[in-house]
Structure 1
Amino acid sequence: MNRYDSDTERTFAAMPPARGRGFAQTWWGRAWLAALEDGALDAEQVRTGRRLARAGGVGAVSVRPGRITAVVQDRDRTPHRADVLLDVLTDDQWDRFLDLTVERAGHVAALLDRDMPPHLVEDAETAGIDLLPGLGDLEAECDCGAWDHCGHTAALCYQVARLLDQDPFVLFLLRGCPEQALLDDLQARSTAAPAETAPLRPEGVDAAEAYLAGHVLPPLPAAPDLPQGPGVPPSLDADAPPPVGVDPAALELLAARTAAEAYVLLAQALREGAEQRPSAARLTAAQDAVRLAAGRLGDRGTPQPVADRLAAGSGRSREQLALAVRAWWLGGAAALAVLEEEWSVEGETLARARAALESAWDEGERPVLRARGNRWTVVGAAGQLRLGQDGRWWPYLKERGRWVPAGDAAQDPATALASVRPDGEEALSQH
């Protein structure tokens, strides 16, 4: 049950064809498409939907809590009503989301600028709230009779990705909260006085009584609530000189990073089903150096002397570490491997890659690509696609003679390559 008006609806006029450009330019728009592309059972239907949307076959889009609707025309102009459903958040989830949002002024300011900061989504996930859809969350309904995503519902999803680029409040409405109601609630929480809380009193059992009772201990208490945020280590800035071999700045950064990592691990452990999730792969020393350098603590960042030590310790130059950090921000260890490792694509993997490249663009729009290993470089332009070991495509851009990560990974090479192109230009298309 949700306290917001379930009848609230916004209708967006049909958009012009999307020829020569990707459907999603923002990271949250690409995350929306990843939920479709990774969750659909028939990749050919997804490609059909992309072609229909690119050709302008999607009519006006209606968005209301839990459902988006549009009339989608086939190539032969046959109309079909397509609906895509997404669960709305509960009252409790909205309360938790609003509380964590007002705790950081930057979150509210970003939303007012029609931006969706990654840390807002990460904080929400830590609190057990999934704003963006995941694998299998986008349910499809279409009058063509398909029981899974068909070309019509896929086309609708591609069109919605364009709407999300322009206005992330479309996602909030779909999750159950209209824009004005969300802003009103944020305003109310921002101005409310903090409630006084009574001091907590520890509870326990006298050890002697427990022993005399025959070693029968009471049941363990419930797991504690997740703290508001990670602990803040003490400052090591003192008048006394540090001991020989101790770098206070590096020690402060390591302690703060450790506290942040411990907070994330605790949040994951407290979530339901934590025991069923596989453990993350152990990082090498070189990977962990990049993770430490990539961590963001407020506006302080990583002090340059500490960054220099991390670079030297990981066997990288300062410039190489900066590139590695850029990759880490986009995709962690997987993105770092794509940056620093080149491998031969062979057999079935090569066949799948070639099929994806052949079907990603409409006839006459595919750029000319030169392949070497897992890298496909656009001939005559500063763009490149790199294939990861997990089958995703990563966009790269040539800057000052070197290839640098240019955006998030995508299952569709055309969507990934769109990240390296200036808006409105056709530099990476072959006409």
Structure 2
Amino acid sequence: MDTIFALATVPGKSGVAVIRVSGPDALSSCVTFGFEPPAARQAALRRLNHKDRGFLDEALVLVFEDGASFTGEPVVEFQTHGSLAIVNAVLEALKEIPNFRSAEPGEFTRRALANGRLDLTQVEALSDLIDAETEMQRKQALKGFTGRLREKAETWRADLIHAVSLLEATIDFADEEVPVDVSEDVNRLLSGVLKTIDAEVEGFGVAERVRTGFEVAIVGPPNAGKSTLLNALAGRDAAITSEIAGTTRDVIEVRMDLESLPVTFLDTAGLRMTDDTVESIGIQRAMDRAKAADLRVFLKGDGDFGDLEPTEMDIVVQGKADLRADGDGISGLTGAGIQNLVDRVKSVLLSRVASAGLVSHQRQNDVLVEAKTYLEAAMGFVGSGPEHYDLASEELRSAIFTLERLVGRVDVEDVLDKVFSSFCIGK
């Protein structure tokens, strides 16, 4: 196997740059720079010298032994000064070592998976952790990275193996002193697994939204103050505002951290009847995005909401409160009512987050839905009597195999390339 290396920190000028080397010959990189590998897990200050380029830099060197590193392989990390010239010189020197090559995106993590240091759910959570922009995303990603979903899958697997053993004992030893009717115990085990899998599947939508971000659409008739409100929320002029109806013709997005919630506010075209072809397209896009949004804020103005009607989960407020004698409603121009609106949006979304499960990726959800199908079929066969226990056993074996795919033990090559393509080179 090749030894791989890469810059593990962000490219560019910085105080410190970390260059990671992993593989069977990783320790020889130290010899290339003119010193013997330091003791494992003890930081050592060393001069990096090259036979042709001379003195490259003074670096802090860390060695991790085989089986005790992130990848599970021997690893050396060089913490150099964060100069582009220094980093490039060190990388060029490593490239000259036989059997050394630059790492591909996500290859360090892929080796960690292959060497049993991480399971596939942890790999996906690690990607989420790197991409996390809000506190809530960080907390959710850490649940997966610390193995919470894997632990739950192991519990499901153990219960299903127990259920299979009960069924097969009845099948294989029907003439001996074993219980013939094991349906009650088997059903109890399967019901418990199904109940917890159902909870994860039901919580998937919200968990995925925490990972990718909620969408809140601002809708209403023309000149209700939608674009001004978006600009006030964003703290900048993200949308063009004017008194001319139809100014906003496309959906304008502003992503923000709403007190730990990842939220994208959408400014949409004013809802009205129009003969303008381009504006009509914008209105249709507004309708489509608003219907797909997690929450809609309806601003009342001079006009109705057309074919888009508020539901009990939506927020309806009066726009342009600064122009009203009673000051009722919300104003993006003066800021009146904005904090109250933000609090209402946050309250609605937080009430949904409470139902979020550990499953936050479509792949994970698809696996659990497939496992559910096998479990429900198995319960049907168990209910049909001992003569169908062999069929129930086969369905349970399929369910167990499917759960193995959840954590990446079997049949994952078709998804690995997609998973690791989102990683940076040094991870």
**TM-score normalised over the length of structure 2:** 0.22
**TM-score normalised over the length of structure 1:** 0.22
Q: Which has the higher contact order (CA 8 A, sep 6+)?
A: 2
